[in-house]
Amino acid sequence: MKQKMLLAALVVGSILVADVVTKRWALETLYHGFVVDGFGGYVPLTLAFNRGIAFGLPLPDAGRWLVIGASIVVLFVLLDMFRRAGERDWARLLSIELVAAGAIGNLIDRVRWERGVVDFIGPID
């Protein structure tokens, strides 16, 4: 169990640090409509704020708090799934850790301001 928790802390922590750093970079660099052609020009980097849910589906004004609550519930479900997963079930553990890190990163954005989640990869034609 100790090894499982250590790996989870490393994976989730690393992704959260990368999430915060890249979103800060996007806010500072792309804020005034500047677009960067990343990855050899195949992936444009454009600052956007996603106030909706999956794929930008819109929410009513109070929807922000519903999504925050739902995210917290999802994190508890993921924690239970993590706890139940076997120590050698690396694919399941890594999947849970990746989803949890993404959920936490988006939750941080939703809690800190009403703008929504900071997005900056795309749009891709």
Answer whether residue 56 shows pLDDT above 70: no
70 or 51, greater pLDDT? 70
Q: What is the mean pLDDT of the chain?
A: 89
Please give the average per-residue pLDDT across 59-71, as a whole number.
84
Of the segments 1-10, 59-68, 72-81, 105-114, which one has the largest average pLDDT value? 72-81
83-94 tens-digit pLDDT? 999 999 999 999
User: What count of other Cβ atoms lies within 10 Å of the Cβ of residue 9?
Assistant: 11
Quote the pLDDT of residue 35. 80
- The contacts of residue 86 (CB under 8 Å, 6+ apart) are 92
